[in-house]
């Protein structure tokens, strides 16, 4: 077997414990899964005697050879030698890589478990053929894991490998992967110049009711993009002019399509958010119970998760809803209100980032800085939920760009000037009015507005977000300039009116309001 052409896509790690294998025969389970599309198998057995392990290894090797897939043995170089299989997988506490190589020779496949950049560098330098990167998620299958690193941790390791010139070393990730999260993890863990070669699973195959079907499914999922990555055939608008040209169409499309804006938001702004959604022509629903999202996500709309009054139950509801929307690829807007204010909120941000794909993240400077710093890059203590600005203009634009690039999404940082980016193109918008800061919930209802726009224009989320911001902020300017508006109290109804009027004018082909865009 040529070690350069090994396919790591669906990597099965065996487990013969009753909790996972049940009363089934391991050989039958492995054969079914290889028939379905498993591309590489590792015999992992922490309890059997050497003789029994060699016997099982020989049986499995007869099967894997028939299907031309490699068999590796976990930890036990002696067993691998006795079986005569293709290689071994060694952990950080097992035999040294150099010693294993000496015993097995240059043609054997040797993989190493790593959970940090340092471990990855050592293994690559030592000549590992592939790395098993983990633990991605805590898993009942292996409880003595050292580091739970999420997709973000995998991505950092892949990036470090590429930076150090180890592109040729193959990689799989492991820990808690299954059919539901596989595509998202693979997508989110992709570094700019290196991506995973496969995913390693135990229970998703060994405990599957039908291992052949499960392997076929994992293989298909690994080889396709997640539903939330919209492959639009139309070219995306990339310049200010091109985006501005698109804005009227997007405003019209919201009014025409009446997309559902599903708000999981705080008590303070529910009423305001629903009224804003209606004014721009969207169809609002306020539903904070996660279970409902499994029905609502099928209606072609978008979800807003607004962390305004988060509690542990609320967090579980968000996660359910995010999973539902991610699974059908309908967009999600995340508003990490007060992200840095408390330990609970910081931890909620981290949980949400590791368990969901967020099409749009919208927040003020402190919130965006906290979300960016969540991986341990840099973190800020925020006071309350109000916005404070500490960064220079160029730093703000760079922060937004870097977060969007890392999360492969669109990030909006609101303030006197708003910054938004998809990681490649970064724009600033100077519209708006101070009254927006004197009324509660305007930031939250901007999230609602963006959700409707992205639902209406999923192929170009950046352009949709620009359209939402312009509609919203120019409406605020027009309202504030009205003679009947004397302060924040009279501003609110006038603002709703102007949102409505801009929508109506645009639908009738009158787009003069866009001239105020700056």
Catalytic (active-site) positions: 444
Task: Tell me how far, at minimum, the Cβ of 323 lies from ligand 3NM, in Å.
Answer: 17
Q: Does 91 bind Mg ion (CB under 5 A)?
A: yes
Sign of the C-alpha dihedral, residues 358, 310, 150, 180? negative
> Measured from the CB atom, is 205 or 333 closer to ligand 3NM?
205
Q: How far apart are CA 461 and CA 450, in angstroms?
A: 9
Return the one option of Mg ion, ligand 3NM, none that residue 300 interacts with (CB less than 5 to 8 A, by type): none
Nearer to ligand 3NM by C-beta: 132 or 248? 132
Binds 219: which of ligand 3NM, Mg ion, none (CB < 5-8 Å by kind): none
Among 75, 86, 129, 477, binds Mg ion (CB under 5 A): 75
CB atoms under 10 Å from CB of 68, counted, come to 10
CB atoms inside a 10 Å sphere around CB 240: 13
Find the shortest distance in angstroms from Cβ 54 to Mg ion.
18
CB 513 within 8 A of CB 478: yes
Q: DSSP labels for 221-288?
A: HHTS--TTS---SSPPP-SHHHHHHHHHHHHHHHHHH--EEEEE--TTTHHHHHHHHHHHT-EEEE--
Minimum CB distance to ligand 3NM smaller for 10 or for 361: 10
CB 43 to ligand 3NM: min, Å = 12
Sequence length of the chain is: 518
Of all residues in the shown chain, the one whose CB is closest to Mg ion is: 91
Smallest gap, in angstroms, from Cβ of residue 209 to ligand 3NM? Answer: 15
191 contact, one of Mg ion, ligand 3NM, none, CB 5-8 Å limit per kind: none
Whole-angstrom Cα distance, residue 89 to residue 42? 8
Indicate the DSSP class of residue 381. P
Residue number with CB closer to ligand 3NM (33 or 113): 113
Which residues are registered as beta bridge partners of 260? 283
Encoded tokens for 109: 């496949």
* Contact window for Mg ion (CB under 5 A) among 73-81, 150-158, 214-222, 426-434: 73-81
Total residues at the site for Mg ion (CB under 5 A)? Answer: 3
Structure tokens belonging to residue 181: 């999260």
For residue 154, the partner it binds in ligand 3NM, Mg ion, none, with Cβ less than 5 to 8 A by kind, is none
**Which of ligand 3NM, Mg ion, none does residue 75 bind to, with CB < 5 to 8 Å depending on kind?**
Mg ion
Minimum distance of Mg ion from residue 461's CB (angstroms): 42
**Which CB, 174 or 456, lies closer to ligand 3NM?**
174
Q: Which of the listed partners (ligand 3NM, Mg ion, none) does 139 bind, with a CB threshold of 5 to 8 Å by partner kind?
A: ligand 3NM
Among 307, 253, 184, 278, which Cα is nearest to 458's? 253
Instruction: Decide if 35 contacts 212 (C-beta within 8 A).
Output: yes
In the block, tokens 């922490």 appear at: 46
134, interface contact from Mg ion, ligand 3NM, none, CB < 5-8 Å by kind: ligand 3NM
Helices (H), 265-420: 270-280, 293-296, 312-328, 343-355, 365-373, 393-407
Report DSSP state, residue 198: E
List of residues contacting ligand 3NM (CB under 6 A): 13, 44, 113, 132, 134-135, 139, 141-142, 145, 174-177, 201-204
Q: Closer to ligand 3NM at the Cβ: 139 or 183?
A: 139
Residue 195, SS3? coil
Question: Smallest distance, Å, CB 204 to ligand 3NM?
Answer: 6
Q: Which stretch binds Mg ion (CB under 5 A): 74-82, 123-131, 400-408, 468-476?
A: 74-82
Check binding of 415 to Mg ion (CB under 5 A): no
- Our measurement of the distance from residue 467's CA atom to the centroid of its chain's CA atoms, rounded to an integer in Å, reads 24
SS3 421: strand
Closer to Mg ion by Cβ: residue 97 or 333: 97
In the complex, the smallest distance separating the C-beta of residue 164 from ligand 3NM, rounded to whole angstroms, is 21
Q: What is the binding site for Mg ion (CB under 5 A)? A: 75, 91, 94
């Amino acid at each position: 077997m040529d070690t350069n052409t090994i396919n790591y896509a669906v990597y099965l790690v065996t487990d013969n414990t009753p909790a996972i294998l049940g009363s089934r025969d391991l050989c039958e389970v492995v054969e079914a899964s290889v028939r379905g599309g498993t591309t590489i198998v590792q015999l992992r057995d922490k309890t059997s005697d050497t003789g029994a392990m060699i016997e099982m290894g020989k049986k499995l090797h007869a099967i894997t050879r028939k299907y031309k897939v490699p068999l590796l043995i976990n930890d036990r170089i002696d067993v691998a030698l006795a079986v005569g299989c293709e290689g071994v997988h060694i952990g950080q506490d097992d035999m040294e890589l150099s010693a294993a190589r000496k015993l097995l020779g240059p043609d054997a496949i040797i993989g190493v478990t790593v959970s940090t950049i340092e471990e990855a560098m050592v293994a690559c330098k030592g000549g590992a053929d592939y790395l098993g990167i983990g633990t991605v998620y805590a898993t009942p299958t292996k409880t003595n894991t050292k580091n739970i690193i999420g997709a973000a941790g995998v991505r950092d390791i892949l990036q470090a490998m590429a930076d150090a010139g180890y592109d040729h070393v193959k990689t799989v990730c492991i820990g808690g992967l299954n059919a539901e999260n596989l595509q998202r993890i693979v997508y989110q863990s992709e570094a700019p110049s290196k991506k995973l070669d496969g995913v390693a699973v135990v229970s998703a195959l060994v405990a599957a009711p039908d291992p052949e079907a499960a392997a076929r499914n994992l293989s298909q999922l690994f080889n396709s993009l997640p539903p939330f990555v919209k492959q639009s055939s139309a070219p995306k608008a990339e310049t200010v002019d091109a985006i501005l040209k698109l804005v009227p169409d997007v405003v019209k499309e919201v009014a025409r399509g009446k997309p559902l804006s599903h708000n999981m938001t705080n008590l303070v702004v529910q009423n305001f958010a629903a009224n804003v959604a209606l004014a721009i022509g969207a169809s609002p629903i306020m539903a904070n119970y996660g279970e409902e999202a499994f029905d609502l996500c099928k209606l072609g709309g978008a979800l807003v998760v607004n962390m305004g009054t988060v509690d542990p139950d609320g967090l579980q509801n968000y996660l359910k809803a995010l999973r539902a929307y991610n699974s059908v690829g309908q967009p999600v807007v995340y508003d990490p209100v007060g992200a840095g204010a408390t330990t609970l909120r910081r931890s909620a941000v981290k949980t949400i980032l590791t368990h969901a794909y967020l099409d749009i993240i919208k927040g003020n400077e402190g919130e965006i800085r906290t979300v960016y710093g969540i991986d341990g890059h840099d973190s800020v203590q925020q006071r309350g939920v109000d916005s404070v600005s500490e960064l220079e203009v160029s730093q703000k634009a760079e922060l937004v760009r870097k977060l969007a690039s890392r999360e492969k999404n669109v990030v909006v940082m609101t303030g006197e000037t708003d910054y938004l980016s998809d990681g490649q193109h970064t724009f600033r918008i100077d519209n708006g009015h101070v009254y927006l800061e004197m009324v509660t919930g305007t930031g939250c209802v901007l999230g609602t507005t963006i959700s409707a726009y992205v639902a209406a224009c999923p192929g170009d989320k950046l352009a949709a977000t620009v359209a939402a911001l312009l509609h919203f902020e120019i409406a605020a300017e027009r309202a504030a300039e009205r003679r009947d508006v004397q302060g924040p109290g009279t501003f609110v109804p006038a603002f709703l009116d102007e949102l409505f009027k801009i929508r109506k004018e645009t639908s009738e082909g009158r787009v003069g309001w866009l001239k105020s865009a700056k």
